[in-house]
Every structure is written in C-alpha cells, then in structure tokens.
Amino acid sequence: MFDCIVIGAGPAGITAAIYLLRSNFSVCIIDSGDTALKKAHKIENYYGISSVSGEELYLIGRRQALQLGAEIIDGQALSVDNFGSFNVTTTEGELSSTCVIIATGSTVKGIKLSGEEKFIGSGVSRCAVCDGFFFRGKPVCVVGAGQYALHEAEVLSNICSSVMLLTNGEQPPENCPYPVLTSEISEITGDDRVSGVKLKNGEILDVKGVFIANGKPTASDFILRMGIECSDGVFAVNEDMSTAINGVFAAGDCVKQPKQISTAAYTGMIAGLSAIKYIKEIKKNG
Ligand SMILES: Cc1cc2nc3c(=O)[nH]c(=O)nc-3n(C[C@H](O)[C@H](O)[C@H](O)COP(=O)(O)OP(=O)(O)OC[C@H]3O[C@@H](n4cnc5c(N)ncnc54)[C@H](O)[C@@H]3O)c2cc1C
C-alpha cells in the first residue's frame, strides 16, 4: 500500500511526486511513456533552463523522482476504484494507495465516430462499470484495440449476452479472448437509441451498446468511473487541485490552461501539497 499513486510522469506528476517524496511519503508513479514533452522538440521558455529538448526534460524528471525513492511502473493505469482507499488496476498488476493524483496530460482523444455524440447516454458509453448493467443480457461491442478495451470488455462479459471488440482498423490485442473485427467503422446506427454498428465493408452488427475504449483511459475516464459527471471530457478541480472525490487530486494539462510546463509544475506542486495534507489527516484519524 503506497501513500500516493501518481498516474503520469510528465511535469505535473513528477512535481507532485517530488513534494510527497521529500516529505517522506511513499509514492508509486505509473507512466505509459507518452508525455506531451516527447513532442516538444525544443523548450526555451521554462525557468532556469535556456534550452532543452522535451524528451531530455522528461528523462531528467523521471530520474529525479527515482533518486528521491519513487517506484516507477512503466505501463498503463486502466481504472481507479474508490474503496475509501484506492485500488488502481494497471497493465502490470493491481496497486493500492491512500490517495491518488491524476496527471495524465491532455484529455483530447482521436476523431469521434459518426453517431458517437448523438447516442451518448442512449447506447454509447465511455464507462463499462458505470453503464454495463443497463445492457444486461444484450449484445454489445467495445471500440478499441489496447489493454483498456480488453479491460472494459472483461467488465461487460459478466453482464451482457455477447461482447465483441471492434478495433476500427487497428491491430487487435494479442490473445484477445473475445471475437474481434478489425474493419473500419462507418457509423453507429439507430433512431433514438443505438440499434447497430455499420462497418465500412458494408456489414451491419446488431449491438445495443457501444463502449468507447480507444487508446488509454484519460483523467476524465477515471473520474467518470468513480461516479462524477464529466461534461465533454472536462471535470472540475478546486483551488487545492482536489476533485469531487475525497483523496483524488488532479494536475497539469488534464485540468488547467494554459497547457504549459510551468502550469503543470505549479498545479503538480499544489496537488502534491494537498495530498500530503490529506494523508496526514487520514493517518491522524487512524
Ligand atoms: C509539440 C509541443 C510542444 C510544446 N512546447 C512547449 C514549450 O515550449 N513550453 C512549454 O511550457 N510547454 C510546451 N508544451 C506543452 C507541455 O509539453 C505540456 O503542457 C506538459 O507536458 C504537460 O504536463 P503534464 O504532466 O500535465 O502532462 P504530460 O507531460 O502530457 O504527461 C502525461 C503523463 O501521463 C501519462 N499517462 C497518460 N495516461 C496514462 C494512463 N492511462 N496510465 C499511465 N500513464 C498515463 C503519460 O505517459 C505521461 O507520463 C508543448 C507541447 C507540445 C505537444
């Protein structure tokens, strides 16, 4: 059991971790390895460093956290469950902690499917654990090709009559225990509710639910799963970077503009300090 699990190893997550580690708290950082920093060829507007590549700055940050005693897990966080303390499911196994800091970077996902927006709440869902029950005994599909999609499919497999993975043109995951179709998706069809999915090869699939799980879960996916409504992938944080869930904090590009390293480091610092306060309070009250 860690004092804090930090999801993300960009400037927000690493800064939060630094504050916790220097106060002697145990920290596990989960890093899927795709920080926005890796896309920044040259950074010349961060305090004290006249010029550095984003990749280099990312590696310096990771090294700093390791030197201070962080455990870093290279993998994806798939879900966060709130049992008073927190259970984080990752591609590398289960972890638990007193509190969680979500610092997963920008929440912008790829292109939306035709019909995805229209049917959100009427057959399209972004959260299997929240909405799976509404599709009990019915055929559903999960759109995605990675570990997150498999994770969502597993949740649904107990509830729905059948679960199929639609990779929308991507390579299917290895050893997928569910039926997989790799054809590209043309549109999600229906009148007032989803009645099927049309593929570009002309095939029409009879499914009543479409669960979107492409890529990896974003900050809003984690928050939504814990029962907090997110409007268009955005959720609120308070000034101390706490969310509506006790013990869950968020920082960086996933919650604050302008999307810059200075903002990420600042909000990471606030989230780290708030997490310290929270853990001390929990420890004091036994
Ligand atoms: C091309 C480009 C150039 C830029 N140039 C500048 C610049 O010159 N100056 C400047 O100040 N800013 C610049 N930025 C912006 C800057 O990179 C970001 O504001 C900053 O990296 C945000 O930090 P963050 O920690 O919030 O998110 P990120 O740095 O994006 O880090 C997110 C972290 O979360 C991890 N993650 C995400 N989802 C999961 C998951 N499910 N499980 C586990 N880990 C996960 C990622 O692997 C990563 O470690 C640039 C951005 C881009 C794209």
Residue 170 phi, psi (nearest 5):
-90, 165
Quick one: which atom of ligand 1 is closest to the CA of 254?
26
Q: What is the pLDDT of residue 110?
A: 65
pLDDT tens digits, one per residue of 54-109: 999 999 999 999 999 999 999 999 999 999 899 999 999 999 999 999 999 987 66
The Cα–Cα gap between 257 and 263 comes to 7
Confirm or reject: Cβ of 221 under 6 Å from ligand 1: no
What's the gap in Å between 275 CA and the centre of ligand 1? 21
By the 10 Å C-beta count (0-12 exposed, 13-18 middle, 19+ buried), 277 is classed as: exposed
The arithmetic mean of pLDDT across residues 148-159, rounded, is 95
Is the CB of 76 within 6 Å of ligand 1?
Answer: yes
pLDDT class for 246, splitting at 50, 70, 90?
very high
* 130 vs 133: CA distance, rounded Å: 8
Given the candidates 3.50.50.60, 3.40.1190.20, 3.40.50.10490, 3.40.50.1220, the CATH classification of the domain at 124-212 is 3.50.50.60
Of 9, 4, 14, nearest to 268 by C-alpha is 14
Ligand 1 within 6 A of CB of 34: yes
pLDDT tens, residue by residue, 216-229? 899 989 998 888 87
* Atom 50 of ligand 1, residue of closest alpha carbon: 40
CATH topology of domain 2-108+217-284: FAD/NAD(P)-binding domain (3.50.50)
Threshold 0.75, pTM exceeds: yes
